[in-house]
Amino acid sequence: MNINTQHKPELVCPAGTPASLRTAVDSGADTVYCGFQNATNARNFPGLNFTPAELEESIAYAHAHKAQVLVALNTFPPAGQFPLWANAVDLAYNLGADAIIVADIGVALYAKNKHSDLRLHLSVQAGAPSIEAIKFYCEEFDVKRVVLPRILTITEIKSLKQEIPCEIECFIFGNHGLMAEGRCSLTNYATGLSTNMDGICSPANFVSYQVDANRNLRTELNRFTIDSFSCSQNPGYPTICKGRYTVAHRDDPYYAFEEPLSLNLASLLPELIAAGVDAFKIEGRQRSKAYIQSVVSSWRKAIDSVLEGGSVNMDHLLSLTEGHKQTLGAYETKRWR
């Protein structure tokens, strides 16, 4: 395998709070991504994210430690609510963000026209997996980097890299909720709130956990049962795409969309670097700083080790994965299930 040691991929890490951001930077992140406390980002969870003052302090901390900060503005403004997104673009620019991550073409156009020196990254929420789609964003909005949907094999990524005029960022660890990214309406169907416009998947105020006397656990989203776990089973997140359902053609309930597990591409890291991936992204802005510290420092060591010709062992991260299970997903084969 031909690894270009001159090409050092960037490690892009999540932060849901200022403490997490500092932890990510201290643990070896090259770049940290975060969002404001509103619907402009796809992790608009209660008690999470940054006030403008917190973001300003956090950017100063990151820059002082030679790390960059990306601001996720990766949701889609509903009709009449565009000013919230426009203000967020202005804020991110004025606070000194190194780039913004966008999904909506209106937000991208606003940013390009208003702040021509603001770097744009295309969010995974834009769901752009083809050469044609990515070229469109590059040509029309001067997008500098695309975050690829988690539906491509390494072979496809390698060939894509040779055809597009921008950098490539790939997820390497964390949530593996694929669906059609940026187009999932399951939460909207169950709760009336939109993942893509309100920025929240499985809103916590609609989630309930029922535990019986035998420690069997049932998870519900607005009274829709997502899954039931016996006392010996490991649960996952209460998201519809990770639920277990009864369907006509099967005797037992089964995971109709995706199982509760996490993406972990440790074993494919050398191939991904050789494929020319410019940045590796860790998912998990909603996770704790304990997760950030452990995952970020492990991937920092792993990337540095591969570039020096060493090997990667990240078995210890299994304890942080959803349901204590992990997958290589579509990166290895489209038939991962």
Chain residues in the site for other proteins (CB under 8 A): 16-20, 22, 45-48, 203-205, 207-211, 215, 217, 231, 234-237, 286-291, 294, 316, 319-324
Task: Tell me the C-alpha distance between 40 and 188, whole Å.
Answer: 17
Task: Tell me the C-alpha distance between 194 and 187, whole Å.
Answer: 6
C-alpha of 209 from chain center: 25
Closest approach, Cβ 299 to other proteins, in A, equals: 16
CB 101 within 8 A of CB 147: yes
Nearer to other proteins, 203 or 329 (CB): 203
Closest approach, Cβ 284 to other proteins, in A, equals: 9
Closest approach, Cβ 99 to other proteins, in A, equals: 24
Nearer to other proteins, 247 or 290 (CB): 290
Nearer to other proteins, 24 or 128 (CB): 24
Closest approach, Cβ 121 to other proteins, in A, equals: 25
C-alpha of 276 from chain center: 20
CB 15 within 8 A of CB 285: yes
- Determine whether 57 is exposed, middle or buried from the number of CB atoms within 10 Å of its CB (0-12, 13-18, 19+): middle
Two tokens, residue 6: 């001159």
Determine which helix (DSSP H) or strand (DSSP E) holds 167, and give its type and residue range: strand 167-175
Nearer to other proteins, 196 or 219 (CB): 219
Closest approach, Cβ 48 to other proteins, in A, equals: 5
Task: Tell me the C-alpha distance between 120 and 139, whole Å.
Answer: 12
Nearer to other proteins, 40 or 321 (CB): 321
Closest approach, Cβ 320 to other proteins, in A, equals: 5
Closest approach, Cβ 175 to other proteins, in A, equals: 10
**DSSP string of 196-223, one letter each residue:** TTT--SS-GGGEEEEE-TT--EEEEETT
Task: Tell me the C-alpha distance between 321 and 273, whole Å.
Answer: 23
Please enumerate in sequence order all residues whose Cβ is within 8 A of that of 269, keeping only pairs 6 or more positions apart, or say none. Answer: 172, 302, 303, 306, 312
Nearer to other proteins, 113 or 232 (CB): 232
